[in-house]
Structure 1
Amino acid sequence: MGRKVYTNYWLNRRDNVVKEHGSYATEEEALRGIKAWWELQKDNYKDVKERRTNSGALEITYGDSNYYYRIVEREFDEELPSLKVKLRSQGEVESLRKKFFLEDEQALFDELAEPYRDRLVEAMGDGKKVQDYIYDQQGRMIRPLKDNK
């Protein structure tokens, strides 16, 4: 039997899109992950509402009712991803920058200021996944690293 985890999903009702954002040990951590994401994106929602669904999920709406988050409790048979990040060496960073032709305003996770790195790990709930993206200098995600060819 697995253990309980709380998974964040972002939903777009208009286009019928569901994106998983990460899984956490507690519902409170999952909610902090959503708020960390908003902070990184410089989103400042005034009309944030939380409601419990009949299935027990926590839904977070923020302004437009077509977009919302849902935190779902589920069983998980594996360990949650580690929140620890092994930063790349300067040589690895330089090599990746050249390989993917990154511009000056684009950054790898390892190049971001520590507060942005901390928020990204909290928002994604995965110390490895954070290194799979290209960011701007303020820690906002631009695109996956593998798509930058």
Structure 2
Amino acid sequence: MTQTVYTNYWISRIGDVRKQHGSYKSEEEAIEGIKAWWELHKEKYPNAEHKRTNSGALEIIYHDENSFYRIEKRVIDGKLPSKSYSLRKPGEIESARSRLLLDKELCVFDELAEPFRDRLITAMGDSKKARSFIYDREGRPVKEIV
């Protein structure tokens, strides 16, 4: 089964960096994912400029011309990742904390307040991906769990 999705990329012209953030059912959801990421990082870009490229991609220039978000329409096989999750039990959380050697300032996804968890899933478009990071208490990703 194929379907059309809209994928967010953060692009920096400095160092030619391109990072995929998530894929969504609609371009509007992809834009909401970008806004959720900004919200988590306590960033505001009220003057962000939306530009449509000749290829049909939407670029969101938010600070300067060197870094921007690009939403590309593409066709994938299969389904989008799931956004639903269930919380781990307290013993599982403590086990994960111990295994990862986390101090008081860091936490796993399940320890975050619900608004942070919801914003992370909106920003990443994938509950599995959201679980694959260590976070600070404000819901900002610190390090990917390998």
Shorter-chain TM-score tier:
over 0.9
Task: Give the alignment's TM-score, normalised by structure 1.
Answer: 0.95
C-alpha distance in structure 1 between counterparts of 2:94 and 2:36, whole Å: 28
Partner of 1:125: 125
Partner of 1:47: 47
Task: Report if aligned partners of 1:46, 1:63 keep a CA contact under 8 Å in 2.
Answer: no
Partner of 2:11: 11
C-alpha distance in structure 2 between counterparts of 1:129 and 1:14, whole Å: 26
- Over the aligned positions, Cα root-mean-square deviation in angstroms equals 1.0
Kindly provide the amino acid, as one letter, of the partner of residue 14 in structure 1.
I
Partner of 1:68: 68
Cα offset, 1:14, TM superposition: 1.1
C-alpha distance in structure 2 between counterparts of 1:65 and 1:87, whole Å: 40
Cα offset, 1:3, TM superposition: 1.1
Query: Which has the larger displacement, 121-130 or 1-10?
Result: 1-10
The gaps in structure 1 that reach 5 residues or longer are: none
Partner of 1:27: 27
The gaps in structure 2 that reach 5 residues or longer are: none
Cα offset, 1:46, TM superposition: 3.7
- 4+ runs of 1 displaced by more than 3 Å? none
- Is 1:78 aligned to 2:73, yes or no? no
Cα offset, 1:45, TM superposition: 1.9
C-alpha distance in structure 1 between counterparts of 2:135 and 2:113, whole Å: 11
Listed one character per residue, the Cα deviations across residues 74-107 of structure 1 (whole Å, up to 9, x for unaligned) are 0011100011012211111100111111010101
Partner of 2:136: 136
**Count of aligned pairs:** 146
Kindly provide the amino acid, as one letter, of the partner of residue 36 in structure 2.
A
Q: Secondary structure at the match of 2:64?
A: coil
C-alpha distance in structure 2 between counterparts of 1:108 and 1:99, whole Å: 11
Q: Secondary structure at the match of 2:69?
A: strand
Cα offset, 1:47, TM superposition: 2.9
C-alpha distance in structure 2 between counterparts of 1:65 and 1:43, whole Å: 17
Partner of 1:113: 113
Listed one character per residue, the Cα deviations across residues 30-84 of structure 1 (whole Å, up to 9, x for unaligned) are 0000000000011112431001000000000011211000000000111000110
C-alpha distance in structure 2 between counterparts of 1:108 and 1:100, whole Å: 9
Kindly provide the amino acid, as one letter, of the partner of residue 28 in structure 1.
E
Query: Which has the larger displacement, 126-135 or 42-51?
Result: 42-51
Q: Secondary structure at the match of 1:63?
A: strand
Kindly provide the amino acid, as one letter, of the partner of residue 71 in structure 2.
I
Cα offset, 1:26, TM superposition: 0.4
